[in-house]
Amino acid sequence: MSKAYWIVRVDVSDPEGYKKYLAANGAAFSKYGARFLVRGGSFETKTGGARERNVVLEFKDYETALACYHSPEYQHAIAERGDSAELDLIVIEGYDGPQPGDN
């Protein structure tokens, strides 16, 4: 079974309001075993558009990643975020197949 990921790109317009979301999202992430692989950090856009902040969370599988998003805990975090940020969020299944160089 493949792992799954949330890939999130964020522009924060109200840092004080966004802090409410940050304080609330941990309950869902903890409950569903999310692990941050990327949380902010330096980046360089090579093609297309970008937002000011990037986040990648890892989950044990696709169903768990979706369950976390739809959970009451995460829906509460979304409500806490309100209009403090604009973001793009996708839930995507990982890949466990052959890789370059595999024989």
Token pair for 51? 């937002």
Domain ranges of the chain: 4-43+50-93
Work out the pLDDT band at 86, boundaries 50, 70, 90.
Answer: very high
Per-residue pLDDT reduced to its tens digit, 27-40: 999 999 999 999 99
Contacts of 101 (CB under 8 A, 6+ apart): none
Rounded (10°) angle between helices 72-81 and 15-31: 170
Question: Which CATH number is 4-43+50-93's, of 3.30.70.100, 3.30.360.10, 3.40.50.720, 3.30.30.10?
Answer: 3.30.70.100
Answer whether residue 1 shows pLDDT above 90: no
